[in-house]
Structure 1
Amino acid sequence: MGEAAVEKSWFQHYEPSVKRSLEIPEMNLMEMFKKTERKFPDNPALIFAGKTTTYSEMNILVERLAKALVQRGVQKGDRISIFMPNSDNWVISFFAILRVGAVVVQTNTLYVENELKTLLQDSGAIGVVSIPQLLPRIAPIQAEVGLKLIALDWLSKFSGLEGLADDPVFMDLEKVFGDTSLDEVESPPMEAKSSELAVLQYTGGTTGVSKGVMLTHCNLVANAMQAWEWIVGREGEERVLTVLPLFHIYALTACMNLAILSGGAMVILPKFDIDAVLQHINDYEPTFFPGAPTMYVAVVNHPRIKEYKVSSIRCCLSGSAPLPKEVALRFGELTGGRLVEAYGLSEASPATHLNPIYHARVGSIGVPAPNTDSKIMDLETGEKELQPGEIGELVVKGDQVMIGYWQRPEETSAVLKDGWLYTGDIAYRDEDGFFYIVDRKKDMIITGGLNVYPRDVEEVLYTHPAVREAVCAGIENPYWGEMVKAYIVLKEGLSVTEKELLFYCQSKLAAFKLPKMIEFREELPKTAVGKVLRRFLVEEERQKALQQESRLQA
């Protein structure tokens, strides 16, 4: 089957109003914001901590901060890190940095001092926007990494740091936002071209050293347009629940850029707390809720879910990790909202595949987005395109694909080949053009010479009525090479033994796929976006084995 035929097979599953291809304008992200601000000046743009900021008000604040950055010497092409939790000022800072032609360095708020130093040195960032609470991680490395600017939210109001307001390195964001005299200062020119670098999106490092993904204005504008086209939204009317961390590419596109592009409002929370999330849904009636599977698990298992008004949620895109079928089905039953799985990666801004909102296939990541091509290549050489049903590596091509890794030409050439991005994910497609992720290349478990994909086992475990969360990993074993171990979090008030759970799995899994061990835990280690850290569990097991070996030798 040729590429043209494959494209036709998935186009037929687009919702009737979704275009097969989009005309991506040559504009930068700041121009995208300005266009919306002119069209919807009085629409709410940001809702945070009980405060609403309209698009016209946000524009004034962005301009003031941009002028202040120029006064502090920030120039086009400089890299500025945003190192703080979700807030209205996070969004304002993002656009102010782009307003002066600088580049935003996405920075995980969970990073400790050493990780932060590595990222700032790699990116060459000259400044950081943060909060006083995170200053203890920044201050010790300030001189070493060469930070010339540290902008802090609410600096002057944070006890013990009042004196820093007079230090030329420090800037108080709230003072800048309240400085009306900046309105008289000439605005900097908007020079950034669509093809120029906008964001350095550092990968999570789950498969090795964290790398800076270079995303252009065009990449990010294109992906926002693709996502907006897909959800069949209502311009100027959507409210996007923004609880995913904005330093993650998924939230940057699906929450922030989509809302800005469409004239919608962001309902922002600083972190995921299920009670706060449900209360915000009840109070602010968001219509779109991008999230991670663990978030929806928390929703469907909340003991008082029926006490909250959640009917405003029209659709939810689940990303960052595979969505268990049982969770998708239960979410729909409880809330009435459409919860569908999508797929993306930092290197593609991130979305490449999406399930049709009203015709989703549970278990599939969906079909390629508009302006996106995709195919399955053989795992051995990466050069042979496979047929429907055959398992290989998922590769994609489109306007949203990165231009490369920051200062890493060899790593770039390893994943970008003739315009195709090799994702590292094992997948297949069916005859209709729907794609299915089997697992990560690195997560595949080889036990007794046979391949086991953790997701196959996890899907079965999730169907047990007592299981809240499940993850499987390959643990080193002298006989099997690797053995399948399952880590389980039980639902509150329910119980099941290891023996009972294994018996439950026996009729649903081939013998070689059955977990050799099951461990019950109170919680699973996760990233800030809710992705379970499988590598952490593997490393934990490795350390336990080494300690056991040391004790035996002693």
Structure 2
Amino acid sequence: MDKPWLRNYEPEVPATLKYPQTTLHYNLEQAARKHPDAPATIFMDAQLNYAQLNELADRFAAGLQSLGVKKGDRVAVYVANSPQFIMAYYGALKAGAVVVPFNPLYGSSEVRHQLRDSGAETAVVMSRFYPIVKEVRSETPLKRVLVTNIKEYFPSLLRLLFTVVKEAKEGDRQSIAGDPDTYWYQEFIGNAPPRPSLVAVAPSDTAALIYTGGTTGVPKGAELSHFSLNANALQCRAWMHHCQEGQETILAALPLFHSFGMTTCMNFAVLMSSAMLLIPNPREVASILEKVAKWHPTVFPGVPAMYLSFASFPNVGRYDIRSIRACLSGAAPLPPEIQERFSKLTGAHLVEGYGLSEAAPVTHANPVFGQGRPGSIGLPFPDTEARIVDIKTGTKEVPRGEPGELIVRGPQVMKGYWNMPGETANALRDGWLYTGDIATMDEDGYFRIVDRKKDMIIASGYNVYPRDVEQVLYQHPKVMEAVAAGIPDGARGETVKAYIVLKPGETATPQEFIAYCRSKLAAYKVPEYVEFRTELPKTIVGKVLRRMLVEEEKRRQAAKPPA
């Protein structure tokens, strides 16, 4: 297979890697042996070193075993970014269990579905989420629940202040009195044996079920093995070749339940014996800037909305944030304007990458210090093959530069979807993962995402890719954020509508933007409608919920009286 992308790798990045036949939790044990005193977590200005983190994960694993958790059992982790998430994640792996992370924004119906689908009988739950678990527990397989409070690893003074001022108000003060088989986390690990019994875990065994597809349909559990997760962390290390073991600090503002944060902020950090600067709420920008100025992180994986929030923050120049050297952006297209503003502000190398939960997740990235191409997702990672095939059959490779479906193959790809053989057969064909994204590849092996197959707008028979419209909108000096979507139209089938968030202090009219787009786009791509908003609906990782906007529009149209 021709791999033109290899010609554009940085000299320090190899085309192929060696993948040790080890488990994911072995990396934590190695970090504790080699760098026991190196900071592992920094949370609300309190630190744990790698020896402490590994010891706490051991106790958690031993405690699970004492409750009867066996190899292959699923353990739900419904916890925001905190030391407890990492302890529970690696502790469950040490016990031979499968980790099932939960989105902290989930409501009762989503929690119920994921508990039922995964079959998890044990859950670790942050206290503020416990009422949801308590509500649905009788309708799920849950047998045991461990409840942890976010304050448990705060510094002592802050913990006291939080208890007095915020704990009850923010929903963290909960009672478990009388609830069967429900335990406080700190008492649980305090009473657990110091070491778990050895469990024979193979690299091919499932490590995690990462639920995906919630923005486009019913969530499915992508089954990721120890090997695939380890492979992606190793690929990240090869790509970020400048990073030194035991010397880096990762700004972990991405949620760890999500595959992007799980790999780039946590598993990569543990592999590198790096410190994790844990951010429980990525929307508290002032607090994050203060943490960056104090702890000097060097690597910042994120999403465009995070980089925009930094660049747009009032008086951001008051904060010393130039310690950040490298940033990998994913989950959504990175507008060149945001890339330029953030890089100028920090001096960091901000590059766009690409991935999906089914691939643990990273498959592509622009070279961090090499030749990047704005607007592209860059080059396939080492040992990752990528092709562009025809959308209709998915069997024929299309000519260079032509759009088609992106398919990938590599060591980081999932085993399949949990208990969904039909969905698995559709996504995995002859070892290739069909991503559902429409992309192009140029002569030099750089890939560009055109759009999601499901997001393509068909207006009067013409294919309109929302990204084409959005790139034009982002060039307008008044635009802070923009998204385009296809809404129902009686005459055209679908038509283009733009949703725009203006920069602070700006005003505009829909006609102004329609005229602007008309000067830069083919007529069939020009938005027919423009709506101004104060914010766009997003997932917790900053991906715009285009489907929510379309459903809102459909409800609005249905409510209109007939003409």
**TM interval, short-chain normalised:** over 0.9
Give 1:83-232 correspondences, 5 Å limit: 83-154=78-149, 164=176, 169-179=181-191, 182-183=193-194, 187-232=196-241
CA distance in 2, matches of 1:47, 1:332: 25
Supply the distance in 2 between the matched residues of 1:250 and 1:108 (Cα, whole angstroms).
Answer: 13
Match of 1:428 in 2: 440
Question: Does residue 1:56 correspond to 2:45, yes or no?
Answer: no
Q: Secondary structure at the match of 1:65?
A: helix
Return the offset for 1:539.
Answer: 0.5
The answer to whether structure 1 residue 246 and structure 2 residue 256 are counterparts is yes
Q: Take 1:502 and 1:309, find their aligned partners in 2: how far apart are those partners?
A: 40
Judge conservation of contact 1:47–1:265 (CA < 8 Å) in 2: yes
Please list, as runs of the form range in 1=range in 2, the aligned pairs for 1:504-515 lying within 5 A after superposition. 504-515=516-527
Picking from 11, 16, 20, the partner of 1:21 is: 16
Provide structure 1 residue ranges, at least 5 long, that are not aligned to the other structure: none
Counterparts of 1:270-309 in structure 2 under 5 Å?
A: 270-272=280-282, 273-309=284-320
> Do the aligned residues in 2 keep the contact of 1:154 with 1:174 (CA within 8 Å)?
no
Could you tell me how far apart the structure 2 residues matched to 1:444 and 1:282 are?
42
Deviations 1:511-530 (A, max 9, x none): 11111000000111000111
- Please give the alpha-carbon distance, in whole angstroms, between the structure 2 residues aligned to 1:116 and 1:256: 23
Task: Provide closer, same or farther for how the CA distance between residues 193 and 165 of structure 1 changes in structure 2, counting only shifts above 3 A.
Answer: farther
> Counterpart of 1:255?
265
Q: What is the aligned partner in structure 1 of residue 156 from structure 2?
A: none
CA gap of 1:51–1:204, structure 2 versus 1, over 3 A, is farther
Residue 449 (structure 1) aligned with residue 461 (structure 2): yes
SS of equivalent to 2:113: helix
Residue type matched to 1:341 in 2?
E
Query: Cα offset for 1:175?
Result: 2.2
**What runs of 5+ residues in structure 2 fail to find an aligned partner?**
153-162
- State how far apart, in whole Å, the 2-side matches of 1:167 and 1:516 are: 56
Q: CA deviation at 1:235?
A: 1.2
CA contact (8 A) 2:63 2:189 kept: no
Superposed CA offset, 1:81-123 (max 9, x none): 1112111111111111111000001211111111110110000
> Which stretch shifts more, 303-312 or 150-159?
150-159
Distance in 2 between residues matched to 1:404 and 1:178, nearest whole Å: 37
Q: Distance in 2 between matches of 1:253 and 1:379?
A: 30
CA distance in 1, matches of 2:21, 2:375: 36
Aligned equivalent of 1:264: 274
Q: Indicate conservation of the 8 Å contact 1:165/1:172, yes or no.
A: no
1:506 Cα deviation after fit:
2.1
Q: Which residue in 2 is equivalent to 1:322?
A: 333
The Cα of 1:167 is off from its aligned counterpart by: 5.2
Number of residues paired by the alignment? Answer: 543
3-state SS of paired residue (1:12): helix
- C-alpha deviations, 1:195-214, integer Å up to 9, x for none? 00000000042222110000
Distance 1:215 1:172 in 2: 29
Offset of residue 311 of structure 1: 0.8
AA paired with 2:131?
P
Answer with 20-29 or 505-514: which moved more. Answer: 505-514
Counterpart secondary structure, 2:237: helix
> Which residue number corresponds to residue 66 of structure 2?
71
- What's the CA shift for 1:330? 1.7
**Which structure 1 residue ranges, 4+ long, deviate > 3 Å from structure 2?**
154-163, 165-168, 176-179
Deviation at 1:177, TM superposition (A): 4.1
User: Secondary structure in 1 aligned to 2:562?
Assistant: helix
Using the alignment, how far apart are the partners of 2:237 and 2:217 within structure 1? Answer: 32
What's the TM-score, normalizing by structure 1?
0.95
Distance in 1 (alpha carbons) for counterparts of 2:212 and 2:347: 34
Question: What are the Cα deviations for residues 441-484 of structure 1, in whole angstroms up to 9, with x where unaligned?
Answer: 00011111111110011011111111000000000001111110
Measured in 2, the distance between the counterparts of 1:120 and 1:167 equals 18
Structure 2 residue corresponding to 1:503, chosen from 478, 490, 515: 515
**Amino acid aligned to 1:18:** V
In structure 1, C-alpha distance between the alignment counterparts of 2:332 and 2:9, rounded to whole Å: 23
| Larger CA deviation: 299-308 vs 392-401 | 299-308
